[in-house]
Structures are given as structure tokens and as C-alpha cells.
Amino acid sequence: MRLNRLLSVFILMLGVCCHIVQSHAQTVDDAKLRPLVQALAGDNFEDTTKAISDLVKTGDPRVSKILDALSAGDLYLAKADKTVFLGKRDGSDYAATDALTGAKLDPVPRSAAEKIKVNNRLRRDIAAAVGGLTLMSDNIAERRSAAEAILKTRDPESIPLLDQAIAVEKDASVKALMQQAKAAAVLSSDAADDVKIAAITEVSAGNSRDALGLLTPLENVQGPVGEAAKAAIDSINTKLAFWNAVQNVVYGLSLGSVLLLAAIGLAITFGVMGVINMAHGEMVMIGAYTTFVVQQIIRTSAPGLFDYSLLIALPAAFLVSGGIGVVIERGIIRFLYGRPLETLLATWGISLVLQQAIRSWFGASNVQVGNPSWMAGSFDLGLITLTWSRLWIIVFSLSVFAILQLVLKKTMLGLRMRAVTQNRRMASSMGIRTPWVDALTFGLGSGIAGIAGVALSQIDNVSPNLGQGYIIDSFMVVVFGGVGNLWGTLVGAMSLGIANKFLEPFAGAVLGKIVVLVLIILFIQKRPRGLFALKGRAIEA
Amino acid sequence: MITQWFFTHVDRRGGIAIALLVAIAFLVPLSNLLLPETSPLHIPTYLVSLIGKYLTYALLAVALDLVWGFCGILSLGHGAFFALGGYAMGMYLMRQIGPRGVYADPVLPDFMVFLNWKELPWFWHGFDNFWFAALMVVLVPGALAFGFGWLAFRSRVTGVYLSIITQALTYALLLAFFRNDMGFGGNNGLTDFKDILGFNIQAGTTRSMLFAATALFLALAVFVSSFIIRSKLGKVLVGVRDAESRMRFLGYRVDRYKLFVWTISAMMAGIAGALYVPQVGIINPSEFEPANSIEAVIWVAVGGRGTIIGPIIGAVLVNFGKTYFTAAFPEIWLFALGALFIIVTLFLPKGILGLYGSWKTKLADHAARKKDSAPPPVAAENVHLPEPQAAE
């Protein structure tokens, strides 16, 4: 045992000797640095702190690596010859490398070495010091992260380093970040009041949530600094509240867009035919499954086209759902005209059959629908982060709405549909074949539901129950917005979406939804035909 | 005297139904309790509970038919009243558990102990008393229906609009009862019941008595429905169903008639729920599912809406089918149910009883033509469905 240790010490010494021989060949810098590195293993933390700042002052690029190792606890002191080395645990030994040159040394037994202790204060110092070192780095990413590190530690000692760095910094965003970091450091230093107030202005111009963290401790300071901090906090809070509201509106709009997509087809069939299609949700679901099938085909036969899979799925889903819609209308619904309640029941039956058919075919569990690359990721808008899928769904549903308006206003089919909506018998007398209009309307409504399914497949789980989750909400939109006018559906969907999102923070998601439902039930009392009711003279619409 | 009074308010079919229900209210428990298990006429306890469950569904169907079949209000939310009645009964049964729960708290039901609640919420007080709970079984659904109906009928929300907001009502309640903070056991609902009125709820005798109570309440419901329909008020209701505006122009306060029958129907549904819970042993928020309420509509449609006993037949048949299919061919059940919705609305608008009626007419017609005399008799007397109205 003793012999063993002696042997290892001997080997270690041999290694160190070899190393000294090697280092003669290196630059003089090495010889200057080495005692400083040695000093890191001082008797107490104060010595270590001094050693760190001495090391930093040399400005040698290797220093940051050594300090990082110290902070991570990878720096060891060999007991025998008091040399500092970089160690990695390897069984009962440390795989040792020279701290300065990185040259491989002989392994040191774990009992023959001692870890150089660091505490949290030291770690903070190290982080700041390393930050200061890399502030002058050639790599822009390193400079940025250095400035961020100082922004976190707010070490007043880094102010001179920052001043140097700011003077030479070329990149505007990094420069701004450095100025932020400097202001933060000034605030935690004992600088004069006017300097601090200038720093407060500087800080509050940056990231609001960070600034709030910086300024809150200053709020209770007596004198002008405290007042300035308080004023800055107030203005930041106003700004945050504003962006919070913006976020609620955007989230509400995206929820509203989903509702709009799900409800708009329903609104058409209900408006034109007075038919409540309980199977509408299943048309949405079939659209989503069509997307799934399209993606499967693309995956196996043309993987390169995957980014276009949604564009291919759109017409496919429209045709599949629309086709099923026409079949349902011709096969079942046309026999039930004039009996809206029976139609409701029959379409409910259809929805059960369709659900079970999909379940038998694709299985009861969710299927995986992928996101094309342009749907993934997010971007910043002011102080909030939005995902692309959220934005695309708003754009998409508004375009569907616009196209539908065009179809209704500018095409022959649209003209006939509007005529039938307003007065079925008169339209029929003028030679419009109302049964065909009905079939095409139902097909159009179902097709749009299919398109909605393509969009929903991107944000929701695709399972046989997909449609069930939307059906009640889309009814609410139609009932709230009123029938026979697509603008009503748009306004209804968006206001329900936004109301939901604004209620959520106060009441929670579930209670918020309940409140919205109750509000709609009450609203119906006031306007039994919805927001935008068709005006007419019939007693029974 | 009494029989005469009885038959002025109930037609022949209703009378037969009531007599049959009263008879099985006595015979089924007797067979279960007195006959030895080897006897071919013995009805095992599980079957008693199963049929009892069907009968509570039948009671719900009768309630629904009262508003849909006779007043034209298609409710897609009657399951809400059913479930509320069930919850009122469930709360009584929870309080009866007392210190026998898992956490052995003498006052708080297990789920409240689990949620770290310190005392009973105010709305749970009084439910340790059976009669208070029984009152709530009718009062809570009745009050909700009254408030909802008062708002809806006064502002003339009719047709599919009304159907959809009733659906929204039950959906809102579903979401609400799923929340733990509501104080109704959240997701898991109320279960683990021990006894009712001091009798062990698992015992065969108790089950038989619950069955008898269900059958008698159903008989009572048939009587009350017949009574309402054959009264002057009933004629007004049918008038509202067939031509609401015309009735309004004739000077009837249509909303009040509707509100009355709507509230009565909700109370019946509440009773059905209260009888359902002790027989199945659990009540949870899924009873509020809109799909359940729509399923109840199909029971009525299958049996024949606008007839008093049709819904009973429909509820029992469809639920028997459900029990059979979901066990034997679970894949097929939704296809069968969906097809039932479509077939009934397309081909059997008057349900099974309507089919029977038209079949009888045809037979009589046939016989009459053979004899070459006398015009054909009128079909089943209570079946008048509205003339199809134009969509506009």
C-alpha cells in the first residue's frame, strides 16, 4: 500500500519533471502564468479570489478555461508536490492534464489529490471574471454570452472591462446588451445618484422582466434613486400589462380562428337550409384524417414533398369531406326537410356511425400528424413570444373566410344560395333548383369543415373524438353570431375566443368556459336570433 | 268511484301500462326474494337492478316525451336534470356513510378529507336527512328548469336554438361538476355508498325495494302525464306543439304553458336520477355528457313520441340492446345506435307504437275492404304528429 503510493508519487514527480522540460520550449508567458495558477490553491478563499483577479489581469485566453474548470470543481491539487492539475474521475484515479497547456499527465490516485474548493461567491466572481475576459473575444456569440453573464452577476468590478468593450464593440445589439450590463453593474455599485439614475433609465429601456428584477430592490431606497426606480417600475408594469393584453388578444384571435374554421361550414348549412348538422364535427375529423393519410403517402413515396403536405391535403380534405357531405344530403337529409329537429337526430346518428367507422379503420388512439418545417418554431413580437402555427391559423382562417365571402357574393352558386336563404319558395319560383342548391351547400359546408380539419390537425390531437370537442363550441358561435350572415360568424367566433382568453387568468380555463356558456345562454334571451339576425317578416324564422 | 275518476284521466293503454307496472313492482321483488334460486321463475338480484336501471331510464324518457312529444320542445339537456336529481340522492347516500369511509371522518365524505377540506360546504348541510334530500331531488332540477325556461320561453327561443342551448346547459354543468372545487367529488363523483334509510344498499331486499319504488314511480309518472295531457291544459300544449304562433294569437300565454310542463318534466327527470343512483351505486359528471341526453331522445323516438307508453318501450328496448351489444359486439354498438337514429327518423317518425298503429289500420282497412263496408277506424288515438312545416 505504502509502496504503491510512493510509486505513484514518484511517477507523478516524473511527469511534472517531464513537463517542466517540455515547458521550457514554450513561451515565456507560461512561466509567468504558472505561479498564478498555482496560487489558485491558496489557503483560503481570499487568496483564491486574489489569484483569480491576477489571472484575469493577464488577459491570456487560456485563463477562462482554467477558471471554468475551477468553477466546475475539476481543478485539483496534488498533495505530494502541490501542483495544480485538471482532473477527470477515472475509476480510482484522476485522469490528469496540465491546467495550462492541456498536456496529458500520468493518472493520479484519488487519495493523492485534493479538490480546490470553491463556494458560490467564488463561482459568481469567476462567472463575472470569465465574462469580462470573453467580452473582448473575436466570437460574437461569446461576447454576447459574456455580457449576459455580467447582466446576471451585476459585478461592479466589471464596469471598467465593459467600458473598454463598449468602446470597441461594432455589433449594435451586443453593444446595447453591454450597456445594459453596465447599467446593471452600476446599480449594484456605490456610484453617485445621478449616475445611478442614468443607469435606471438605461435599464428600463431593455428587457422589462429583467429590469423589474433589477429595480425592485432599489424601490425602497431613500432619495432620488428610489423615486426614479419607482417611476421606472411603474412604467414597466404598464408596459407589461399592455403586452399581456396584446397576448390575450392574439391568443384569443387564434382560438377564435379555430372556432371560426369549425363553425363557418355549420353556419352556411344552417343559414341556407335551416338544418343543424350534428355530424359537422365528424367532417372536421375526417379532414384531419385525410391530412394523416396524405402525409403517410408522402412519407412513403415522396418524402421531399413533406413541407407541402398541408397544401396537398387541403383540396383532398375538401373533396373527401365535401363528397361525404353531398352523399349524406342526397341520401338522408333531403327526406327530412321541414323537420329540423328530426334532421338534428338523424345527423347525430350519422356522426356516431362516422366516428365508429374511423375508429374501426384507424384505431381508437391518436394518429401522428407531422408539422411541416414552416409551421414549427416561434418568433418575438414586442415582449411576447408567438408560435408560427398560431399565426398561420389566424391567417388561414381569415383567408378561408374571405374566399367564402367571394364565393357567396361573386359566383352564381353564391347568388342562388343567398336567394334560397332569403326566400326558398320565391327562389324556387324564379327557376332555381333548390334541391341542387341544398346539396351543393351541404357539400360546401362539409368541405370547409374538412379544410378546418387540416388546420386543426396541426394544433390538436387527431383522434376519432376530434370533432366532438368542437361541436358545442361551434354551435355557440353560430347561435351567438346569428344565421344567414357570415360576418356574424366571424364576429361571434372572434369575440368568444377573446372572451375565453381574457376570462382564463381570472377564472381558470374551465370556469372561464362555463362563464362564456352561461353568458351565451343569457345573451340568447336578449337576441334570440343572434347578433346579426336576418331581417324578415315571418313570425317563425 | 275511484276507478271511474282514474279512467277519465287515463286512456286504455295508459291504464294497462299502469296496471302492468304496479304488477311487476310486486311480482319481481317477490320472485327475487321468495322463490328458491333453482326455480325457473326466480329473478336474480343483478337482473333486478338491471331492469330497475332500465325503468329509471324509462322514467327519464317519459319526462322527455312530455315536453318533446306533447309540447314540441326538443331538449338535448334532460340528462342534466337527471344527473342533478342523482347528485342530490348521492349526497344523501354519502352522508349516510358516516365514519365508515376510508378516512373514517365522521362528517366529511372521503373526497373532502382527501382535498384537505376542514368543514362541510354549506350546500351539503341538511343532506343527512332523507326527506330533505328527497325534496332537493325535485326542487333543484325544478328550480334550474324554471329559471332556464323562464328566460328561454319568455324571449321565444324555440326550435333548434332551444335544443342547442339546452345542450350548452348540460355541457356547462358537465364542465362545472368535473372541477374538484365544486364540492361534488370532481371527476370521480360520489360512490362507495353503504346504506339507504338504514338498509344495506347491497342487500337483495333493498335492491328489490328500490326496484319496486322505481316501478311505482314510473306508474305514477304515466298517470301524471296522462292526467296533464287529457286535461284542458294538455290540449293547449298540443296546440303549442303544432302551431305555436296560432296559439299565441288566440290569446294563450304560450310561455307559461311551456314553462309549467318544462318544470314538471325536469322534476320527473330528477326523480329518475335519484332512483338511478342507489341502483347503480355511483354518480359522476359523465352523466351530464350531452351525448347521454341525445341518447335519451332516441329512446323516445324509437318508442314513439307523443305517446305516453312509447318512451317506456323505447327506453327498455334500446338499453337492452346497448347492454347486449356492448358486451357481445362492442365494435358494432355505435353503428347500431347511429343507424337507429337514422332509420327511426327516416322510416319510423312515429316510433314502434306508430308502426303498430299504422299496421293495425292497414289490417282493419284490409278487413273492411273484404267486407266491403264501414270506413276504416282511426289509428292509435294519442298519436298526432305535427304536419311537416316548411323550413322558412
Q: How many CA atoms lie within 13 A of A207 on its CB side?
A: 17
Cβ(A131)–Cβ(A56) below 8 Å: no
Are A518 and B164 within 8 A, CB to CB?
A: no
Nearest Cα residue in chain B from A346: B342
For residue A163, give the C-alpha cell: 467600458
Exposure b/e, B136-163, CB count within 10 A at least 16 = b:
bbbbbbbebbbebbbbbbeebbbbbbbb
The owner of cell 384531419 is A288
For residue B140, give the C-alpha cell: 333543484
Average the pLDDT over each of A215-229, A332-346, B204-218 and give the range with the smallest value.
A215-229
Q: List C-alpha distances in Å: B390 to A440, B13, B112, B304, B308.
A: 20, 33, 54, 23, 27
Angle made by CA atoms B220, B226, B231, in degrees to the nearest 5: 130
Cα A437 to Cα A434: distance, rounded to the nearest angstrom: 5
Cα B64 to Cα B299: distance, rounded to the nearest angstrom: 10
Q: Is the pLDDT of residue B83 over 80?
A: yes
Other Cβ atoms closer than 10 A to B286? 16
Q: How many domains does chain B have?
A: 1
What are the residue boundaries of the structural domains of chain A, listed by start? 2-118, 123-221, 243-375+382-526
Which domain, by its residues, includes B34? 2-371
Q: Which of A277, A330, A341 to mutate against chain B (most B CBs within 10 Å)? A: A341
Q: What is the pTM assigned to this prediction?
A: 0.77
DSSP state of A532: T
- Could you please report the per-residue DSSP string of B156-212? T--HHHHHHHHHHHHHHHHHHHHSGGGSS-GGG-EE---EETTEETTSHHHHHHHHH
Residues of B in contact with A507 (CB under 8 A): none
A201-210, B39-48, B261-270, B331-340: which has the highest mean pLDDT? B261-270
Cα B267 to Cα B250: distance, rounded to the nearest angstrom: 29
Nearest Cα residue in chain B from A424: B392
Q: Is the pLDDT of residue A18 over 50?
A: no
Are A424 and B165 within 8 A, CB to CB?
A: no
For residue A1, give the C-alpha cell: 500500500
Closest Cβ–Cβ partner in A337, A346, A351 for B346: A346
Instruction: Give SS3 for A95.
Output: strand
CA distance B253 to chain A (A): 16
Closest Cβ–Cβ partner in B159, B165, B337 for A521: B165
Residues of B in contact with A357 (CB under 8 A): 335
Residues of B in contact with A476 (CB under 8 A): 164, 168
Cα B240 to Cα B255: distance, rounded to the nearest angstrom: 10
More confident position, A268 or A55: A268
Instruction: Give SS3 for A466.
Output: helix
Instruction: Give SS3 for B268.
Output: helix
Cβ(A134)–Cβ(A155) below 8 Å: no
The residue type of B120 is L
The answer as to whether B381 is a domain residue is: no
More confident position, A191 or A460: A460
pLDDT for A155:
73
| Closest to A502 in 3D by CA, of A257, A250, A258 | A250
Are A356 and B152 within 8 A, CB to CB?
A: no
Residues of B in contact with A538 (CB under 8 A): 392
What proportion of chain B, given as a percentage, has pLDDT over 70?
94
The answer as to whether B360 is a domain residue is: yes
- Could you please report the per-residue DSSP string of A317-341? HHHHHHHHHHHHHHHTGGGGTT-HH
DSSP state of A114: E
Q: Does B41 touch chain A (CB under 8 A)?
A: no
The owner of cell 354518480 is B283
Mean pLDDT of A283-289: 95
For residue A346, give the C-alpha cell: 338523424
CA distance A342 to chain B (A): 6
Exposure b/e, B47-78, CB count within 10 A at least 16 = b:
ebbbbbbbbbbbbbbbbbbbbbbbbbbbbbbb
Instruction: Give SS3 for A29.
Output: helix
Are B151 and A424 within 8 A, CB to CB?
A: no
pLDDT for A233:
84
Closest Cβ–Cβ partner in A340, A424, A514 for B172: A514
For residue B109, give the C-alpha cell: 365524505
Angle made by CA atoms A329, A335, A336, in degrees to the nearest 5: 95
Q: What is the pLDDT of residues A207-240, one digit of tens each?
A: 666 777 777 777 777 777 778 888 888 888 888 8
- Could you please report the per-residue DSSP string of A16-27? HHHHHHHHHTS-
Are B245 and A350 within 8 A, CB to CB?
A: no
Q: Does B330 touch chain A (CB under 8 A)?
A: no
Q: Does B240 touch chain A (CB under 8 A)?
A: no
What proportion of chain A, given as a percentage, has pLDDT over 70?
90
The answer as to whether B162 is a domain residue is: yes
Cα A81 to Cα A74: distance, rounded to the nearest angstrom: 18
The residue type of A14 is L
Q: What is the pLDDT of residues A297-331, one digit of tens each?
A: 999 988 888 888 899 999 999 999 999 999 999 99
Other Cβ atoms closer than 10 A to B192? 16
> How remote is the C-alpha of A223 from its chain's centroid?
41
* Residue A27: pLDDT band with limits 50, 70, 90: very low
Q: Which of B334, B337, B385 to mutate against chain A (most A CBs within 10 Å)? A: B334
Other Cβ atoms closer than 10 A to B345? 24
Closest Cβ–Cβ partner in B156, B290, B335 for A528: B156
The answer as to whether B45 is a domain residue is: yes
Closest Cβ–Cβ partner in B171, B294, B338 for A356: B338
Closest Cβ–Cβ partner in B175, B291, B339 for A513: B175
Q: Is the pLDDT of residue B390 over 50?
A: no
Q: Does B341 touch chain A (CB under 8 A)?
A: yes
* Residue B381: pLDDT band with limits 50, 70, 90: very low
Cα B230 to Cα B235: distance, rounded to the nearest angstrom: 7
Measure CA of the first residue to CA of the last residue in chain B; give whole Å. 50
Q: What is the pLDDT of residues A243-274, one digit of tens each?
A: 888 888 888 898 899 899 989 988 888 877 77
Q: List C-alpha distances in Å: A76 to A67, A79, A127.
A: 12, 9, 19
Q: Which residues contact residue A301 at a Cβ distance below 8 angstroms, ignoring those fewer than 6 apart?
A: none
Mean pLDDT of A461-476: 88
Mean pLDDT of B188-195: 90
Chains A, B: CB pairs < 8 Å: 149
pLDDT for A291:
94
Mean pLDDT of A124-136: 72
User: Which residues make beta-bridge pairs with A104?
Assistant: A97
* Residue B9: pLDDT band with limits 50, 70, 90: confident
Q: Does B151 touch chain A (CB under 8 A)?
A: yes
Are B152 and A524 within 8 A, CB to CB?
A: yes
Task: ipTM value, please give it.
Answer: 0.85
Q: What is the topology classification, in CATH, of domain A243-375+382-526? A: ABC transporter involved in vitamin B12 uptake, BtuC (1.10.3470)
Average the pLDDT over each of A145-149, A532-536, B318-322 and give the range with the smallest value.
A532-536
Q: Does B337 touch chain A (CB under 8 A)?
A: yes
